[in-house]
């Protein structure tokens, strides 16, 4: 599997990363056993994937910890996150990190993010919480600082744009997919200039894995004047990608679309299904989408900045 250097962190990571959150939570949302979820992460690691994302909020840290047990600590990169839904304190972040490390059974995490940050909370977090994260980094419990957007509430990246004005973030987790490519101009230009590592979330989500959901999202974009109805066939939206042999499936096209985007390093993929995991690994081994097809997708969704594919 292709590897990349995660911006200024210097960490070498595979282009496909495992997301232990999202709608699937590696199967936990569908009632899978811990053993089944552990098997998914282990199969990903055995296939050479070296980056795993979890969070205190997902309830999957212990599963990730068990899945990596016995492997060389330097052979994978783990990112986890501190929830930020209220005015958290320095003590909260320290306590949360200690609890995450315990669940993960690790001495340190590679990337520790503030999770789902909205613009309204950013100033408090930057002034009060970042200094504590820097102390935790100095103590060796965190290697790099990260921040993630609450993309469903902020599909136009207002928080990320504010965060980019500061020089503390080593890594950012950014919402990006073929239905909303607004991060290209609003985030990636700056992350490239600042050499910030980028983890992409929402590459597929529901809209690019469930046809009915896709129609709903396209109708929303049409109603908002962000998509020309002549550009999509409502009876078979984006069907040309598979019909004309450019991709094996819509998720396949979606992951490969994100992978080629300049400025992205790791494309997170979330699944609770071993079959989907295997398909997704195969996608990351395929060549890029043909340039003309990619350009067509860029043009179709050029004005979209208000949906996430949730």
Ligand X SMILES: NC(=O)c1ccc[n+]([C@@H]2O[C@H](COP(=O)([O-])OP(=O)(O)OC[C@H]3O[C@@H](n4cnc5c(N)ncnc54)[C@H](OP(=O)(O)O)[C@@H]3O)[C@@H](O)[C@H]2O)c1
The whole-angstrom separation of Cα 28 and Cα 60 is: 8
The whole-angstrom separation of Cα 27 and Cα 151 is: 22
Closest to ligand X by CB, 283 vs 292, is 283
Q: Output 235-243 pairs: Cβ under 8 A, ≥24 positions apart.
A: 237/211, 238/214, 241/293
- CA 50, 56, 62, 65 torsion-angle sign: positive
155 near ligand X, rule: CB under 6 A: no
CB of 228 to ligand X, least distance (A): 25
204 near ligand X, rule: CB under 6 A: yes
The tokens for 176 are 């990006």
Q: What residues between 248 and 287 interact with ligand X by CB under 6 A?
A: 251, 268-273, 276, 279-280
| φ/ψ of residue 67, rounded to 5 | -65, -35
- CA 260, 266, 268, 269 torsion-angle sign: positive
Question: 7: Cβ–Cβ under 8 A, 6 or more apart, which residues?
Answer: 170, 171, 191, 195, 196, 197, 198, 265
Closest to ligand X by CB, 136 vs 179, is 179
Closest to ligand X by CB, 1 vs 228, is 1
Write each residue from 52 to 91 as x if it is in contact with ligand X (CB under 6 A), else as -, in one continuous string.
-x--------------------------------------
115 near ligand X, rule: CB under 6 A: yes
Q: 189: helix, coil or strand?
A: helix
Q: What residues between 4 and 23 interact with ligand X by CB under 6 A?
A: 19-23
- Respond yes or no: is residue 58 known to be catalytic: yes
197 φ/ψ sector (left φ>0, alpha ψ -120 to 50, else beta): beta
28 near ligand X, rule: CB under 6 A: no
Question: 179: Cβ–Cβ under 8 A, 6 or more apart, which residues?
Answer: 207, 208, 217, 221, 301, 304, 307, 308, 309
Closest to ligand X by CB, 139 vs 168, is 168
Question: Which of 87-95, 147-155, 156-164, 186-194 is the region at the interface with ligand X (rule: CB under 6 A)?
Answer: 147-155
Closest to ligand X by CB, 202 vs 227, is 202
213 near ligand X, rule: CB under 6 A: no
Closest to ligand X by CB, 187 vs 230, is 187
Q: Which of 58, 112, 122, 255 is catalytic?
A: 58
Which residue's Cβ has the minimum distance to ligand X?
22
CB of 217 to ligand X, least distance (A): 13
Residues that bind ligand X (CB under 6 A): 19-24, 53, 115-116, 148-150, 173, 201-206, 209, 251, 268-273, 276, 279-280
User: Active-site residues: which are they?
Assistant: 58
């Amino acid at each position: 599997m292709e590897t990349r250097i995660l911006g200024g962190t210097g960490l070498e990571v595979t282009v496909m990363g495992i997301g232990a959150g999202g709608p699937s939570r590696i199967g936990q949302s569908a009632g899978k056993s811990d053993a089944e979820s552990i098997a998914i992460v282990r199969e990903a690691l055995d296939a050479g994937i070296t980056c795993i994302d979890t969070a205190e909020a997902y309830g999957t840290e212990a599963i990730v910890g068990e899945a990596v047990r016995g492997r060389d600590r330097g052979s994978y990169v783990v990112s986890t996150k501190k929830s930020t839904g209220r005015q958290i304190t320095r003590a909260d972040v320290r306590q949360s990190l200690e609890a995450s490390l315990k669940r993960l059974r690790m001495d340190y995490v590679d990337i520790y993010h503030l999770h789902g940050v909205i613009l309204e909370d950013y100033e408090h977090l930057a002034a009060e919480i970042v200094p504590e994260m820097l102390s935790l980094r100095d103590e060796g419990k965190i290697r790099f600082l990260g921040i993630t957007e609450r993309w469903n509430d902020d599909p136009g990246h207002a928080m990320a744009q504010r965060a980019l004005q500061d020089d503390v973030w080593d890594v950012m987790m950014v919402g990006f997919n073929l239905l909303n490519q607004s991060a290209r101009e609003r985030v990636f230009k700056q992350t490239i200039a600042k050499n910030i590592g980028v983890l992409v979330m929402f590459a597929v989500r529901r809209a690019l894995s469930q046809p009915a959901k896709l129609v709903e999202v396209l109708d929303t974009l049409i109603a908002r004047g962000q998509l020309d109805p002549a550009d999509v066939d409502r009876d078979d939206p984006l069907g040309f990608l598979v019909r004309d042999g450019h991709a094996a499936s819509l998720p396949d096209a979606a992951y490969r679309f994100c992978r080629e985007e300049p400025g992205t390093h790791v494309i997170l993929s979330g699944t609770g299904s071993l079959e989907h995991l295997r398909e997704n690994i195969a996608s990351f081994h395929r060549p890029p989408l043909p340039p003309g097809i990619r350009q067509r997708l860029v043009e179709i969704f050029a004005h979209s900045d208000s949906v996430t594919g949730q």
